[in-house]
Structure 1
Amino acid sequence: MSGIGSLEPGEGTQAWDTAPRAPRGRGHVLLSSLYARHRRAALALAAVAFLLAGGGYLYATRPQQPPPPQVPYPAQVVTVSYLRERAAPPGAPARSFRFDVLLSVASGPPVAVTQVTQPYAGLSVAAAPHVPFRTKAGAPRKITITMQVTECGKVPKDAGMPFLEVTLRNTRAIQIQSFILGPRYAQHLSHALKVACSNSGR
């Protein structure tokens, strides 16, 4: 007999287990199949989550649409200009006079005129067409204003810078706007007041 024993693995070598392995049972195969399916499902969910996160980022960083333009205030788009004086119709009340103005809407939705007034306590005002009425952009409307002196002591001898107060309404706001109608209107108003109150003793 030799005195050499069993061989030991040398440096840099590895002893391999040559013992026969027990055959894998059905339970092991089922576990492996479940693991593989679970792994595929987990990978699919991770991919979906990644895509959703990426889509959310793209949605959050997409170019923002500009907001729709805001409706202007009615006083920003309405002008009232003096046209001419008018003769009093037959049967008109005493100490009354009439004139025409033109109301225009530059842009935006229609504007309703709900009231027309003036600053002098001794004058009453009526408008035709009767308020309220609407005017749309691009379709100026002629308004006939009738004023009647109700008390001469409460009207000025000379109307220096008279104005009309017009209440305007559109889909954004209701505003009271004062319109100075210019020197021709001031002259007409002053003359009409003098004629109306010339024999009244004020």
Structure 2
Amino acid sequence: MTDEAKLENLRREIAACRICRDAPAKGPEHRLPHEPRPVAVISSSARILIAGQAPGLRVHESGLPFDDASGDRLRSWLGVDRASFYDRKRFAIVPMGFCFPGYDDKGADLPPRRECAPFWRQRVMSVMPQIELVLVIGQYAQAWHMAGEGRGNMTETVRAWRDSLLSGRLPEVLPLPHPSWRNSGWLKRNSWFEHELLPYLQERVKVLLS
């Protein structure tokens, strides 16, 4: 079986996945609000992987990752338009949880489902050996992809982005905050993110897309 055939088989398996729906009930957080609709873009040629947390409701409805205001902000951080962002030859987009997990009592998105990453993550990474840069968005992606290199909280982990790049890890891993509107205050308090990290990010993306 060719590498492309293996990747296509994995796409079909992911689309058919229902492990979080069928998991034994352990409380309200284990009841999905909708039928699962896995959202993931895997690629045989993309050199950049966007590793997010889990789809929101709008993404669940459209089937397009980051098809919301968070995606608009993320695309502005990357310096790319929608056409480039959704070109699977350029970007792979694989969240830690493939399906919308629902909301908590305060109306915030629940964390990615616990069943998803242990079952799928290593398989997904193994079919994309060409990835050179992983953008890890939020604490769940950072915990998995940085494997103990985090700094205790999201702010300090992102602040130490240069250390992450110098660690020798391949592919390179660059931590980012979530581009949610809920983080607008964080962005104002941490102006170094816009003035120091984003210029590097945009230049690196430009090189990898060229």
TM-score class, shorter-chain normalisation, is under 0.3
Q: Which has the higher strand share?
A: 1
TM-score, length-scaled by structure 2: 0.22
| Higher Rg | 1
TM-score, length-scaled by structure 1: 0.23
Higher RCO, Cα 8 Å, sep 6+: 2
